[in-house]
Amino acid sequence: NLGNAWGNLGDYEKAISCLEQALQINRSNYGQTAAHPQTANALDQLGSVWKDKGDYRKALSYHEQALHMRRAIHDQSSAHPDIALSFSNLGQTWYCLGDYRKAISYSEQTLQMYESVYEHPDIARALSNLGVAWDGLGDYRRAINYYEEALQMQKNIYAHAHIAKSMNNLGEVWNNLGDYRKAIAYHEQALQMYKNVYGQGTPHSDTAASHNNLGAAWYHLSDHMRSIKHYEEALGMYRSIHGQATAHADIVTALNNLGETWGTLGNHRKAVVYLEKALHMLKTIHGHHTAHPDIAGVLNNLGEELHQLSDYKKAVCLHEQAL
């Protein structure tokens, strides 16, 4: 319980420490290799925290161990809500890793299992996860259908934070379809709902994500100063959540967005400052000599800004590194 509480507060190190202690205690009580529901729960919760922390491979490992154990407990072919939860978590993690087909496969198994054994809130979550996966594959109309089904179900049975999540998802898909006004309408509803749930001035990853999404939508509508305002709100919240000096993917996203937006406004020096911070942080996360698409993207953006500042040699060097 302490681990979950620290995770919800965004203190992932404390969450992991508590959950690892819980896992060790469960293994001592029930057997190091024994399949037990409490051990499976601890593994699954560790997977969720590692996912939130941005280490998706480690998250996948824990979720797969939890699934294997739950199948051993409940029988390989049985439909059970715990197995459905493992499918759901694996689907979300594969989505984060960019394998949308696997995400869809796990989400469909989740939905099928929940429909046969469990109550509506989990069906709504499964519908939402299917929407996320189809969104990732670019089938936005199908994604909207799943999100709208989830939203309708959540309005009947769920708390405001879950409704806000569906609002946010719909906003993202309308953004992908190019209807930025409709995207903003959904994101603003989600933002207000998150503020009501978590507190008007309380930093929370959901609230920060809404600011980030609003920044993107206003950017597409060429209201760059409004876009910057939302990106700065997101950056401030992410730093409060993860730590002012912590290297985290959420902070990188906000820095990169601010860099791109200042560059669009013609303030290339300010853009370079943000993009260099993003690049340094990405190299800290992934390794200074690691080939990673996010690093390549920021190198390319930084090269463009330096080109605008007539620093052509450095720009060419960065573009070559990106390539």
Q: How confident is the model at residue 125 (pLDDT cuts 50, 70, 90)?
A: confident
How many structural domains is the chain composed of?
1
Does 98 fall in a domain?
Answer: no
Q: What is the DSSP letter of 78?
A: -
Mean pLDDT of the chain: 89
Does 13 fall in a domain?
Answer: no
Query: According to the model, what pLDDT value does residue 1 have?
Result: 78
Give yes or no for residue 119 having a pLDDT over 70: no
| Tokens 């370079």 -> residue | 272
Query: According to the model, what pLDDT value does residue 29 have?
Result: 86
150: closest CA among 167, 173, 134, 175? 167
Q: Show the domain range for 319.
A: 247-323
Question: Tens digit of pLDDT for each residue in 16-72?
Answer: 999 999 999 988 888 888 888 889 999 999 999 999 989 999 999 999 999 999 988
Query: According to the model, what pLDDT value does residue 157 have?
Result: 59
Does 204 fall in a domain?
Answer: no
Give yes or no for residue 206 having a pLDDT over 60: yes
Query: According to the model, what pLDDT value does residue 182 have?
Result: 94
Cα torsion angle, 17, 19, 22, 23, sign = negative
Does 74 fall in a domain?
Answer: no
CATH of the domain at 274: 1.25.40.10
Does 318 fall in a domain?
Answer: yes
Q: How many whole angstroms separate alpha carbon 198 and alpha carbon 185? A: 20
Does 203 fall in a domain?
Answer: no
Q: How many whole angstroms separate alpha carbon 47 and alpha carbon 20? A: 11
